[in-house]
Amino acid sequence: MSDNRTSHPTSQSPLPVAIIGGGITGLTAAWELQKAGVPYVLLEKSERLGGKIQTERFDGFGDAPFIVERAGDAFLAAQKPWAMELAYELGLDDQILTTNPAQPAVHILKDGVLVPVPAGLQLIIPTNHDTFLASPLMSEDGKARVLAEEAIDPYAGNDDESVADFVRRRLGDEAVEMLAEPLLSGIYSAHPEEQSLLATFPRYRQLEQKYGSLIGGVRKIMEEGRSRGVEEKGRNLTTFMTFVGGTETLTKALAARLIGTEQGIGKV
């Protein structure tokens, strides 16, 4: 089996840490060890680093070149600000691409009318109460039930449930119909009633159990991100963010910054 080996020898220890896999997790682990002065060896079976994150560029088709992502095309910056922090650390702040506010917002069909999703809605979680309350997307009772989510006790168990059952329990029946069905089911092309929460949106269970609330948890994470300077240089966090050159920009930058590199083909 061929591999890529990225090593960072130091005099502190003759036994380096072995990192199996050169995807985003392995690259980040190597980066953190390198900053701490800990020796490591990064093992990757393929001849490229980056794992499932892979961006392809195509030229000569139509009027302009374009890129295609082989995996996810963005990251959830507001809920998970760590990718932004890493991007700043690697000097990629001028390559970050946010959601374009000039483009039409996502709309949901209600009673034959397209209604824009209220600003600040992180998939199913409102982060701006004013815009959420002003939106005609849900009834007054439905909106009140959603915003009462912080008063709902968190589930203490570890067993799975459907996405619909989870949203119904945390945010109410109307949120299942007006938020979960159009916004969450489309990501996996599955109906929320048949969709496993732990398989598709485990983050929601984690937010519930760690913070006691989805709304409160996202608010806390956003506050922590601001306190660490994630929104510096005039950038605001949008729900989805990526890089001008695609998501592989991040993994390539990480790989390039790993010093003492030995790239080659060998045996694991």
The answer to whether residue 84 is domain-embedded is no
Say yes or no: 219 and 113 in one domain: yes
CATH number of residue 187's parent domain: 1.10.3110.10
What is the sign of the dihedral through the CA atoms of 73, 75, 77 and 78?
positive
Q: What is the chain's pLDDT, residue by residue, as a tens digit (268 residues)?
A: 445 655 555 545 567 888 888 888 999 999 999 999 888 888 888 888 888 888 888 876 666 678 787 777 777 665 566 788 888 899 988 888 877 666 657 889 999 999 999 988 888 999 999 999 999 999 999 999 999 999 999 998 889 999 999 999 999 999 999 999 998 877 777 899 999 999 988 989 999 999 999 999 988 887 876 665 555 444 555 667 888 888 899 999 999 999 754 444 343 4
pTM score of the predicted model = 0.60
Q: What does the alpha-carbon distance between residue 110 and residue 151 come to, in Å, rounded to a whole number?
A: 28
CB 147 within 8 A of CB 211: no
The rounded distance, in Å, linking the Cα atoms of 169 and 156 is 13
Asked if residue 44 is part of any domain, the answer here is: yes
State whether 173 and 218 are in the same domain.
Answer: yes
Is residue 223 in some structural domain?
yes
The verdict on residue 195 lying in a domain is: yes
Task: Give the domain extent around 37.
Answer: 1-72+249-268
Both tokens of residue 108? 């949901």
Number of domain units in the chain: 2
Co-location of 218 and 253 in the same domain: no
Inter-residue contact 2 to 230 (CB < 8 Å) = no
CA 168 remoteness from chain centre: 23
Q: Does 48 reside within a domain? A: yes
> 173 lies in a domain?
yes
Q: Are residues 16 and 123 in the same domain?
A: no
In a domain, 117, yes or no: yes
Q: Is residue 140 part of a domain?
A: yes
- Tokens 């896999």 locate to 21
| DSSP H or E run through 32 | helix 24-35
- Tell me the CB-side half-sphere exposure of residue 24, using CA atoms within 13 A: 15
